[in-house]
């Protein structure tokens, strides 16, 4: 992210973790047969991968993911303002 200044390109919760396909909103009824019993009971908003069919919803882990991404964005803002020091300078990978 730092090397290519990709912070502004972060689009959280839009790609499938399995295949990197795009996620699209889907009606609960369309994926009901794929859901676990408690998921059916407690959640109503879903997204589904257009490539592999994986279903996603904003579960109990979502606040932790959002906090992590907020930290990444905050670091990006600091870097743009020059507040991040030498400790964050990357060295090129030599393979």
For residue 39, what are the domain limits? Answer: 7-84
Asked, for residue 89, whether it belongs to a domain, the answer is no
Angstrom distance (rounded) from CA 31 to CA 27: 7
Interval 7-35: pLDDT, tens: 665 666 789 999 999 999 999 999 999 99
Quick one: tokens of 6? 């990709």
Number of domains in the chain: 1
Instruction: Output the pTM of the full model.
Output: 0.65
Contact of 90 with 3, CB cutoff 8 Å: yes
Residue 19, in any domain of the structure:
yes
Tens digit of pLDDT for each residue in 59-95?
888 888 888 888 877 877 776 666 555 444 444 555 4
DSSP 8-state class, residue 55:
E
CA angle, corner 26, sides to 54 and 10, nearest 5?
70
- Domain assignment present for residue 79? The answer is yes
């Amino acid at each position: 992210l730092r090397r290519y200044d990709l912070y502004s390109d972060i689009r959280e919760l839009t790609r499938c973790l399995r295949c990197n396909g795009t996620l699209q909103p889907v009606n609960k009824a369309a994926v009901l047969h794929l859901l676990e019993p408690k998921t059916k009971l407690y959640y109503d908003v879903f997204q589904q991968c257009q490539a592999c069919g994986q279903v996603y919803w904003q579960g109990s882990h979502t606040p932790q993911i959002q906090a992590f991404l907020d930290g990444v964005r905050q670091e990006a803002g600091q870097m743009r303002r020059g507040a991040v020091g030498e400790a964050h300078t990357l060295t090129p990978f030599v393979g």
